[in-house]
Structure 1
């Protein structure tokens, strides 16, 4: 005996059964087929939305509002309050510790007081009582190719700004037998004969300096021992240019270079950013110190800094130095953007880890220990130098890199450089000079009469 099951109301089966019965009553051929009519209708977004609106949730008629017991609201755990108190205490302790650390950091920041030594904006030209134009042809110990002059061709003030501009040498002096004798002219700034006299010999291939440039210093008019210096300048662009803002000691108290020290605030190259060691998009700061030139420990106190999305030849920057008995640091534009930072927390002789003797077997002697000052040799008067060098044979420009047209060890390096002038001189046409807006020097209080 078979029993026909009746579909439960509200299910798809019941909908289909109803559709079948209606289909049997209707002979309209345009009606929706019974198998899809109700399922498709009931699953449409409109039908679902209507169902949600008309749906009623279960509601008990026996339980009145407020009659259900809630014992958890009457019994409270006394420890529950610590869930709130402990995080608040932790937050307050954290804020207190952070505040203490900030206070301690601000308290430890050194803010020295200074006396102005020299504040120059070049509105009245180049002050000859402060500045000296150096005249030399000897390469300044680096084999540099420029002759530094005392003329306005290479160092001049224009529109209230100082310009240091390299130029080509007189071709006649380079291509024919000639002599440049600065001693005879009475203008040589060095006492060394080879720094004052040079010549062209067409037989052996030696030539005079193929370019001219400028180098000026404040030795006779402005020097500091601990203090600050700021030079606002735009560095040059152009292949094989070597701009520098730096200091040397007024007196070589501890011996010849580098025993008495050197402070380089900023050095760069005029080549573009493709130069491997960094072109005009990078400056470096360094301290030079050591028992002799073969053991110069500059590499222990040398740092480079990149320009941010630009070059140092595109716009003016402030190149600064802050120097005290305890530390020395250089910076760009703000004291917060430091380049080199050196603490004088141990004697430099110990920091240098110098060998016992040089390559000839001569014992190396500490030239600074007698002072008892960890900052020695950086504890004496230094003066400022601004210059734009050209080329050189000391390795500042590496052999074989970026089409360098000379080899450092070659006896004809200057001539090779001159012969390639068509490749590099054109890169000097726009921006091939150092332009200086201002120079500021301050003496730290407590030294050299600054009270």
Structure 2
């Protein structure tokens, strides 16, 4: 009698099984080899031009951009090369905002009245212009010396790329109205003043706790391209993205913030190329002018001038050299911190916005992290240009 647990059909191996296994495992092996070749070719097409782990602030790589004018965003800080605002230690580079009254001899009374700050006379201002380099405090007019000092470092004139990759390993700051940014600007205004020549924001965040913001506080990371024929027509909202994390925020640990950029596409990412914040395929449109629909746009009762289509490249203005910037700004009047949100103590349209911010110190200073926690901490920066070395 035959037992039910016997399997007579298994006694003899079918001759096709060996072939099927061979094909299966062989296909896996071929896939691994092809994947390795693709990865190798992808990385071989880049040349590493910057690899900094910040044992010091290397003046052959980094510039300090020193001014007090708000850098076009109406921010309230005065950027310096003071070691209290930018320094390195075993953890990397720290860019830390400080109260002006705590890190200079300027008193609280002088901050709001009868004191002249002139960075041109001091020989420290790295740009030109009265507004950018000097100010007199006046109690009657409500103008004050910049109440916060911070730092802004760039690779302008020293390291730049046209197409390539950038990766910055960093930890964001804690504190209301802190605005950390890892971003890129063009070496030259090839197509005109901002934003006609473009801007690449790799990673921006807000130091505020995120509950009050639809687009997040320090639990959110923003990436974007800024571009437009005139500032009033900046079309960043067409090329931007946001990523939020749950039960933590970007000040708690280090992350890799990156951008990959070619003539065909550009995307920013966090930790891995698989976690993209936003992706843009340039050749989806004939030109950025067409992408923005600027031919149908009227600004100040006038038609706009097309600065890009002349090149016949769909990636223009993102087709010329860009350099890297690391900074922590504070406040601002360009809408990055919307009016009426999070108990914001100033109004963007107010002529005395910096003083309103300073007067609200009791509501925000206690939220700033201790020591370097209120700053942007950068462990490393790598920059590759597209093409072989």
Aligned residue among 189, 204, 225 for 1:267: 204
Supply the distance in 2 between the matched residues of 1:350 and 1:365 (Cα, whole angstroms).
Answer: 12
Q: 1:184 aligns with which of 117, 121, 131?
A: 121
The structure, 1 or 2, with the larger RCO (C-alpha pairs under 8 Å, 6+ apart) is 2
1:146 aligned residue (68, 72, 77) = 77
Residue of structure 2 in register with 1:337 after alignment: 275
The residue that corresponds to 1:220 in the other structure is 157
Match 2:263 to one of 297, 316, 325:
325
**Residue 356 of structure 2 aligns with which residue?**
416
- Is 1:259–1:289's contact at 8 Å kept on the other side of the alignment? yes
Matched, 1:437 2:368: no
CA distance in 2, matches of 1:108, 1:140: 42
Structure with bigger strand share is 2
| Alignment match of 2:51 (pick from 108, 114, 119) | 119
Pairwise CA distance, 1:193: 2.2
Unmatched 5+ residue regions in structure 2? 1-23, 102-107
Unpaired segments ≥5 residues, structure 1: 1-94
Partner residue of 1:359 out of 275, 288, 299: 299
Q: Which residue of 2 aligns with 1:257?
A: 194
How far apart, CA to CA, are the structure 2 residues paired with 1:396 and 1:355? 27
3-state DSSP class of the match of 2:299?
coil
SS at match of 1:111: helix
Structure 1 residues 385, 117: CA separation in 2 closer, same or farther (over 3 Å shift)? same
Q: Provide the C-alpha distance between the structure 2 equivalents of 1:344 and 1:429, rounded to a whole number of angstroms.
A: 40
Correspondence 1:348 to 2:288? yes
Structure 1 CA distance for aligned equivalents of residues 305 and 355 of structure 2: 40
Q: Distance in 1 between matches of 2:246 and 2:77?
A: 31
Among residues 89, 92, 107, which one is paired with 1:158 in the alignment? 89
Determine helix, strand or coil for the equivalent of 1:233: strand
TM-score by length of 1: 0.74
With over 3 angstroms needed to count, the CA separation of the structure-2 counterparts of 1:172 and 1:128, relative to structure 1, is farther
Mapped contact 1:273–1:280 kept (Cα < 8 A): yes
| Mapped partners of 2:66, 2:50: distance in 1 | 24
Question: Aligned-pair RMSD on alpha carbons?
Answer: 2.3
Aligned length: 351
CA apart distance, 1:419: 1.1
Bigger shift: 359-368 or 287-296? Answer: 359-368
Alignment match, 1:407: 347
* Number of the residue aligned with 2:62: 131
Q: Post-superposition shift, 1:275?
A: 2.5
Q: CA deviation at 1:423?
A: 1.5
The CA deviation string for residues 45-96 of structure 1, in whole angstroms up to 9 with x for no partner, is xxxxxxxxxxxxxxxxxxxxxxxxxxxxxxxxxxxxxxxxxxxxxxxxxx9x
